[in-house]
Structure 1
């Protein structure tokens, strides 16, 4: 039956992955079947639209959109696809396209679902579109479950690796090989340079993200061929993969939003930089964030806001946060269990703790149990050992960089020697290119040498008994001064959590921040913190209200 007699026909073919398109898995078969179908019905194929590596769950496909535009322009009156699933994986998209094409006088036909051109056929096609959507959702669910399981086992799911890493195959006893990330030594210097330059600055002084992006571009560095700008430098500085932990399932690509952290899957990867350097960068970004400045201080003026939790165990509290509350028309301030306030006493019996009393208790115990010079020396012993190891690595890296600079000088001399001997002309473009590349590498290596030399020359790296004593006196007096604007900053630095129970108040803090703060010994040097200095250790009697 010549349904398409004397009609112009367009063919649409699609595959879901680029690999399928490159390997010609299904597109040639689709187009051949569609051409035979159209010819058998008397039509003339005037255009073939091929969409390689595109998902039908969205209509934001350039070839598909061009086909619709050509249909509206009247270039053809029939569109043939191998199946509706090649065009749509969403029933609503099918309904919209069918209505739009019908108004343009264009018929939509499936080779494998060739129903009658009547209301019953329309109903059947609508049911097919719904089934395709359901099948797509089921497939996505199974694929997602498999990928999450793969990530939980420590394997990489095939996304593009962060700069400085490469994907390697890991043979499996059964089934196909899996993927893992390894450090790409040829490119790992770049994230190291970015972190070290941002944290330690340049010879001209501290550097922000915008200026760092400009510096990278001036050095001739690229991010897979793209120029650096604020957003991709910031993305590198905040990517935990560089200190040993990548994450899968962070973002919902369809909804275009971040998933809750509880759904993220951590994947251990080799660390390109050490954890201290990573968190120094985070602290620096937080300190420079306008949201962390004066306006934030006004809304977070209470000393222990965000740190106090209800209960030291599940038996004497809900372990939820405690927020600020007032009594007697605002005359008294308290830390009160938020669960009790919002969900009622059936969820937690709750507690109200006098704010001033708890603040003073925490301050005095931190001064007594943490800030005494002997205690500081004990707490920082592991960090000091780590610092010595870092210094040794820096010295080894500096030696390697100096050797590299010497080699580049030799390469430059060799190229110039070819010109002097008359073996090559000074006007030869290749000579200019070689010398330019060598000069660019020498500038980059020289900048790296400058960073390492300044790090090793920084006297703040050494934490002496005198420094510990001065640090203890300075911070202790500042924390006792309720009028000091730095009081809360030092508490934020030294205290991570305050658990308030029936008979105990447990204070926990962090360790590496003590070392950086002690090495600075200046009130304005208050970095963010990241490790415990006394996890589950300091237990103090709760004050009696």
Structure 2
């Protein structure tokens, strides 16, 4: 009996468990026909497939190493991954354990044609994801130019009505109270205490904290300014990076104001002074990579003790978790030193370079197969065109034949462009010498990490898959790396 694992996923808040149910139902019917025994379900809700940083997906891959099943069943390729590297990286890893992928709605076998089709579908899934992201951003920016709300939770003091922000007078009282007290010189602690004692709550119905007050007092929407894309974001540039976006969209007097300009200016001056005194902006190298053993992400934070000494840390988002905080310098230095040690070790370095080269070769094969498939399609179109020309010699040309020839020319032109794009992508794949040079550069950057935090962040994104903080150890999982690289063997 073949043991199967079933994986289901949806990525959007607009989707619901019905999407999961449909995927599972189809997978169970598929396994029943195949006479597979389902031994485990893995379900990720509201998780993107543009990377593999999904809790259940990672759990599934960990169980695969234990050889708990023989096959993983997905509904379609895009439920597995929309990132070419992640797809083939995990497929290569699973081959070591004799575990394969199968898809309910897509018949992909191990034949050359099947592998070519798999490569095309993976590329299409990745293209769709990137194109969709671009279209979503384009739509958001167009909404912003019309001063429409782009989704998410509105600021305290506002409700969304017909995609426009409207003042919620009950909540607005808390906003006015906070600004008035800050303009009078009251401390954050005093403002928090007063708001909480008065029974006011944040938009998410929680009590006020330093972070929520800080966000409130720095929000330009309260003076009527519509801002979209104020900071850069994404995996390589988290939204808390404080990096201003030069392409931000800004409209004055586009929102009903809750705070007058004079009060805003007074609060802003005090806020700027506070930022300068406390050196508020911090760099968190591991942001987006680091999580707690309980599964919750860890975020950066800072606090001053009674002696005025600043303590900067990463903390678990789950307040009930026993792991709590870990000093920023401690964990960052540990992760950087571990990676640097691996990159400088000749044996580990050679294995790393070989793995990266193997992945590049895999992509090269995919592009080659893709190009060959397109050329076959072009040859088929040429044969159709030849038959049409023969018909013209026999019967003369008609409007239908002329239109069909034009359509064939358009199809051939589109396919030729696809070949050009695939050829350019294949030519851009790095060779062994380039890989070695990149590793050299990365090792140098890590060695000089104090002076180049932005570059160090890029290196960490390149080689570190995830960092898990436990009560006694820190586990680091690497990309591209062989299984025998050290992972969390010591206590930082």
1:107 maps to which of 97, 100, 105:
100
Max Rg structure? 1
Paired with 1:239 and 1:263, the residues of 2 have a C-alpha distance of 15
1:221 Cα deviation from its structure 2 partner: 3.8
Q: Where in structure 1 do 4 or more consecutive aligned residues deviate above 6 Å?
A: none
2:209 maps to which of 214, 223, 229:
229
Change (3 A) 1:230 1:85: same
Tell me whether 1:256 sits opposite 2:238 in the alignment. Answer: yes
1:231 Cα deviation from its structure 2 partner: 2.2
1:12 Cα deviation from its structure 2 partner: 1.4
Change (3 A) 1:88 1:121: same
**1:270-285 alignment to 2 at 5 Å?**
270-285=256-271
Q: Which residue of the partner structure matches residue 8 of structure 1?
A: 3
CA-to-partner distance for each residue in 1:260-295, whole Å, 9 max, x for gaps?
Answer: 2333344821111111111110011223343599xx
CA-to-partner distance for each residue in 1:294-336, whole Å, 9 max, x for gaps?
Answer: xxxxxxxxxxxxxxxxxxxxxxxxxxxxxxxxxxxxxxxxxxx
Change (3 A) 1:190 1:105: farther
Paired with 2:121 and 2:42, the residues of 1 have a C-alpha distance of 22
**1:253-402 alignment to 2 at 5 Å?**
253-254=234-235, 255-257=237-239, 258=243, 260-266=245-251, 268-290=254-276
TM-score (norm 2): 0.51
Paired with 2:62 and 2:278, the residues of 1 have a C-alpha distance of 50
C-alpha contact (below 8 Å) 1:15/1:86 kept by paired residues: yes
Q: Which residue of the partner structure matches residue 146 of structure 1?
A: 139
Paired with 2:25 and 2:187, the residues of 1 have a C-alpha distance of 58
C-alpha contact (below 8 Å) 1:214/1:229 kept by paired residues: no
Q: Which residue of the partner structure matches residue 170 of structure 2?
A: 186
1:79 Cα deviation from its structure 2 partner: 0.9
Aligned length: 272
1:62 Cα deviation from its structure 2 partner: 2.1
**1:130-145 alignment to 2 at 5 Å?**
130-145=123-138
CA-to-partner distance for each residue in 1:362-396, whole Å, 9 max, x for gaps?
Answer: xxxxxxxxxxxxxxxxxxxxxxxxxxxxxxxxxxx
1:120 Cα deviation from its structure 2 partner: 5.4
1:241 maps to which of 210, 221, 236:
221
**1:478-489 alignment to 2 at 5 Å?**
none
Q: Which residue of the partner structure matches residue 68 of structure 1?
A: 61
Q: Which residue of the partner structure matches residue 109 of structure 2?
A: 116
1:126 Cα deviation from its structure 2 partner: 3.0
Structure 2: any 5+ residue segments left out of the alignment? Answer: 280-492
Indicate the RMSD between aligned Cα atoms, in angstroms: 2.5
Change (3 A) 1:244 1:99: same
C-alpha contact (below 8 Å) 1:248/1:266 kept by paired residues: no
1:240 Cα deviation from its structure 2 partner: 0.2
Paired with 1:249 and 1:286, the residues of 2 have a C-alpha distance of 21
C-alpha contact (below 8 Å) 1:165/1:183 kept by paired residues: yes
TM-score (norm 1): 0.46
Tell me whether 1:198 sits opposite 2:193 in the alignment. Answer: no
Tell me whether 1:168 sits opposite 2:154 in the alignment. Answer: no
**Secondary structure of the corresponding residue to residue 68 of structure 2:** coil
C-alpha contact (below 8 Å) 1:113/1:125 kept by paired residues: no
Change (3 A) 1:118 1:213: farther
1:32 Cα deviation from its structure 2 partner: 2.0
Tell me whether 1:27 sits opposite 2:20 in the alignment. Answer: yes
